[in-house]
Amino acid sequence: MSVQDLKEDLTGNLVKALNSRRRNQDEISFVLEAFDFAFKNHIQQKRKSGEPYIVHPVAVALSLIELNCDKESVCAALLHDVVEDTGASHEDLRDIFGETVADIVDGVTKLSKLNFKSSEEEQASNFRKMLLAIAKDVRVVLVKLADRLHNMQTLNYLKKEKQQRISRETLDVFAPLANRFGLRNIQIELEDLCLKYLHSDEYSAIKDLVKSKRHEREAQIQKLKIVIKQVLDDSSIKAEIQGRAKHFFSIFAKLKQKEIQIIEDKLDEELPIYDLLGIRVLVDSVKDCYAALGVIHETFRPMPGRFKDYIALPKSNMYQSLHTTVIIPWDKRPLEVQIRTYEMHEVAEHGIAAHWHYKESHVPSSAKLGDAEELKWLKQLVSWHTDVSEAKEYYSGVKNDVLAQEVYILSPKGDVIALPQGSTPVDFAYKIHTRIGDTCTGAKVNEKMVSINYKLQNGDMVEIITNKNNHPNLSWLNFVKTHQAKYRIKSWYKKQNKERHIVLGEQMFADHFGKAKADEILKSEELLKISQKLNHKSLQDLLAAVGSGDQSLAQIEHKLNAVKAPTKEDNIEQLQKFKTRKAPAKGDMADIPELDGLLYSIAKCCMPIPGEAVIGVISKGKGITIHRADCYNVKQVEPERLMNINWKNKERKTYPAKINIEVVDRIGMVKDILTLIADGGFNIRDFKVTERPTKTTALLKVTIDIGSVEELKFLTNKMLNLSDVLQVERL
């Protein structure tokens, strides 16, 4: 196909889709202008499949047209990759298509031009940027989800490893995100595609079973539709009855829950036809929903404990419906039934795209998005952004709290609070207010006293009992579910120990730099500026962060040295003098390129590892000793004995690293730490439990073989993800 034929073909598809939604000529012209811009910028690019790249943004735009999104969303879909993948800029989009379109594209664009220490950090930072953009304009999520959907639909052209990595990310983040915004059709297709690439054998077995039972399923649906339609007509309830086939992933999850082995030749006998279908009843009003429920329960025996009222207690994604499971009289099989109004059905199918309408001025019609009652959880994203500095911690918190499956809890005032499954009264208390959580002493659930680690259930009414003299207990970290609760408990603990941490921070400065030098640094303007750049409001906060282990002295030292670091030329004369005294080499010559052919060794006092800033200390007759740049002993050395050196990237070699780990003192804690280290493939040289800082905490000292500073950071982050680990510090 020629370039011109391709352009005409894609233009025709867009116009046809827009006309089917009765878009006016001004809107069509605006969209086609965006298409022309995207076509011009992408025309030389190809996808992994070999097809022209422009096919992808057009597919994303067509998905948004199908969702009946506004023209700005459709244009942003067409342009969503031009800033990231072509020479176009944000300013170009703003000047041609307006601020709104440019901002939506910016919200979708990855942070790929920045330098990240790891792929995990890059993923977390991109996720954080996207979510904050969504909080500003919900249309960002529509473009992003349509983009991910088309990428998943064409995933077969990538290598298996990449297919699985993208599918895992999609299942962890983007499918739950689609659910959060009520985009059920997108959620279903994403989940089924993820199942195809993550569990291909199970996917094939379920697909074949569903296909083989198609005629039987359709016959059962038709029979049930006739019976239900008749009993509703007899009660003068106008209703439309639909069959509802379950998607592959929901069948997979149900089989896993029942611990049924998914083997093709056994599925047929294990999975009844009624596990493959459901019935949906659509009526005109809420009153008819409850009337229809009564009629269906009179006709079919309801199963106890299988009724959910999402009309009175809507889900946080605006979903409303009545759910019930009944027994079919003629063969005693269970059948799932959903009852909702047509308006509820539209929201259930298209979520925020159906619910949210824009004026001609392109501003949300009822209120600013951040003030929308149905999407108030988005405010939590902004709140966490200001509270949590680490992108990966933010990413983890949103995944575990916002995107997890939920239970819906009632406050004594009748407010509905959504919490992740497995949450406790303490999680509920912190969700209401930090002060309520900090002073929680007990809880009543449905007017009965329960323990504070009780697992809350859908529809529970919770009343928190407080005492102004109470404070959080570190043992709560063993059972709270939400990131918010864990963060607030740890924050209270750190705040109460701030004075002790300040004193400890001052001592660490003195030990690190020497008393006189530390006093000089603490009074300097440079340290104050560095403190502010590191997001500490004052020097006291900086000292407390150092004392608590949240702030590395090495990072502070590095920034101080950056102000007055010696140049390579400053050291050249020193290096030339030393090169005349070559001796047999110690260690691996490839580790430090500058020391090739020279006698050197690794300092035992600070034990540097590849990736850390290092410096060489020249010793008479002993060659060069490699220290960490922030090593206390280096501060005592005359400047003329120092030389700048760097590690060389090479094949993996390990070096010992000492780590202090402060933990909640409980049975099994040591085992959890040792298992985590061993599972990561790290060798433990030494391990011991030393003094206990408080009655409830313990201090573990570990020496581990580490290959690089990136490995050390990876291991440190894994440890900090354990709820009972309070802080980890490199010695």
Q: Which residues are catalytic?
A: 84-85
The answer to whether 429 touches 441, Cβ cutoff 8 Å, is: no
The answer to whether 384 touches 368, Cβ cutoff 8 Å, is: no
The answer to whether 106 touches 132, Cβ cutoff 8 Å, is: no
Q: Which residue from 650, 655, 634 is spatially nearest to 593, judged by alpha carbons?
A: 650
- In DSSP notation, 429-445 reads HHHH-HHHHHTEEEEEE
Q: How open is the CA angle 565-569-572, to the nearest 5 degrees?
A: 115
How many angstroms separate the first and last alpha carbons of the chain?
64
Those residues whose C-beta lies under 8 Å from the C-beta of residue 681, and which sit 6 or more positions away, are: none
CA distances, 101 to each of 90, 105, 107 (Å): 10, 6, 10
Tokens of 422: 């497995």
Query: Rounded distance, CA 720 to CA 610, Å?
Result: 22
Q: Is the dihedral of CA 262, 267, 272, 278 positive or negative?
A: positive
- For residue 250, count CB atoms less than 10 angstroms from its CB and return exposed for 0-12, middle for 13-18, buried for 19 or more: middle
Tokens of 357: 């309408």
Tokens of 402: 């916002």
Tokens of 155: 């995933």
Query: Rounded distance, CA 182 to CA 195, Å?
Result: 20
Query: Rounded distance, CA 183 to CA 723, Å?
Result: 33
- Can you state the angle between helices 200-212 and 214-234, rounded to 10 degrees? 60
Query: Rounded distance, CA 211 to CA 195, Å?
Result: 17
Which residue is it, tokens 């299988």?
306
Those residues whose C-beta lies under 8 Å from the C-beta of residue 568, and which sit 6 or more positions away, are: 644
DSSP state of 242: E
- For residue 349, count CB atoms less than 10 angstroms from its CB and return exposed for 0-12, middle for 13-18, buried for 19 or more: middle
Neighbours of 654 (CB within 10 A): 16
Tokens of 348: 């259930």
Strand partners, 339: 281, 322
Those residues whose C-beta lies under 8 Å from the C-beta of residue 117, and which sit 6 or more positions away, are: 710, 713
Q: What is the dihedral of CA 562, 565, 569, 572, to 10 degrees?
A: -130
* Helix, strand, coil in percent for the chain, rounding step 5: 55, 15, 30
Q: Is the dihedral of CA 160, 161, 165, 166 positive or negative?
A: negative
Q: How open is the CA angle 453-455-458, to the nearest 5 degrees?
A: 145
Query: Rounded distance, CA 379 to CA 145, Å?
Result: 20
Tokens of 76: 């942003």
Those residues whose C-beta lies under 8 Å from the C-beta of residue 204, and which sit 6 or more positions away, are: 264
Query: Rounded distance, CA 21 to CA 29, Å?
Result: 15
Query: Rounded distance, CA 79 to CA 4, Å?
Result: 20
Strand partners, 324: 337
Query: Rounded distance, CA 93 to CA 397, Å?
Result: 33
CA 720 to chain centre: 16
